[in-house]
Amino acid sequence: MEFRRKALENLRRPDDLDSPVRLARPRAWMVLALVAAILAGGLVWSYQGELARSVDVPGILTHPQGVSKVESPQSGMVSNVYVDVGAVVAKGAPVLSLVEPQGGTQVVRAPFAGRAIALLVADGQYVSAGATFMTVERTDGKNDRMVAVLFAPAAKAGMLKVGDRVDMDVASAPAQAFGLLRGKVTAVDPFPQTEQQILDFLGGNQLLATQLLSKGGPVRITVDLEPDAKLSSGYRWTTASGPPFRINSWTQVTGIGRLPGERPIDWLLPK
């Protein structure tokens, strides 16, 4: 029978057990090797690599003592104002003269040195005793210098420590053109401040206090600027030259704190 003859032929035919078997093509091996190299590199990077981190905090350039109010010692009509906004005032210098109700004239002198930030009176205006007629950015403190004072939420403040580098985006000197102002943290207040404390430090500027609190928080951080007498601004920047002009105090900034890097594997492993 035909079926039986084919079966016998198959039994007599040797098996192909000794024939080589191609498990994969060379191109497939190359792909597998590449994938393995990528996985190995990713594993090494996750343990030894480092991801840069930063924290942004709003603030202002000023002097360590901030801005203080100057109040009228008595009631009277303003007859002369001797200072202008932005003028530097020496301690004891005449700033105002008042005509008293009895007809006499009294000269009011600056109780401390500083720069006039705001004048709240004009000639011919009546001023009550104890009323604020001027705010002065004080420059009479020990080791006085211009600093950046940042206001951070408690969570962000805990990320910054004394000695950390902070670069600042200065409102009057766009970073795209001039780079960032260099600085270093010199003090972090241990406790949050009240809104009234911040308001007093800013000389009663409610608008500025609201802006800083809405974007930042109540923890005050002092950042010393890195001086460079060779540059026009007087300070170091992330660019070689910085802006070709002096940077004035009472300018708003955004501090960018450079935090220690973090390993990618730390994102996956529980702490």
Identify the pLDDT of residue 34: 65
User: Quick one: pLDDT at residue 257?
Assistant: 80
| Overall fold of domain 67-138 | OB fold (Dihydrolipoamide Acetyltransferase, E2P) (2.40.50)
Q: Are 114 and 136 in contact (CB under 8 A)?
A: yes
Q: Give the list of residues 6+ apart from residue 194 with CB closer than 8 angstroms, or none.
A: 218
Structure tokens, 37: 């190299």
Tens-digit pLDDT profile for the chain (271 aa)? 455 565 555 555 555 555 555 555 566 666 666 666 666 655 554 455 454 456 789 999 999 999 999 999 999 999 999 999 999 999 999 999 999 888 889 999 999 999 999 999 999 999 999 999 999 999 888 888 999 999 998 888 888 899 999 999 999 999 999 999 999 999 999 989 999 999 999 988 899 899 888 888 899 999 999 999 999 999 999 999 999 999 988 899 999 886 555 554 454 555 5
245's CB contacts (< 8 A; 6+ apart) are 173, 232, 233
Helices (H) and strands (E) in the chain, counts: 6, 14
- Maximum CA extent, the chain: 146
Q: Any idea where the domains of the chain sit in the sequence?
A: 52-65+142-261, 67-138
Which architecture, in CATH terms, is 52-65+142-261?
A: Beta Barrel (2.40)
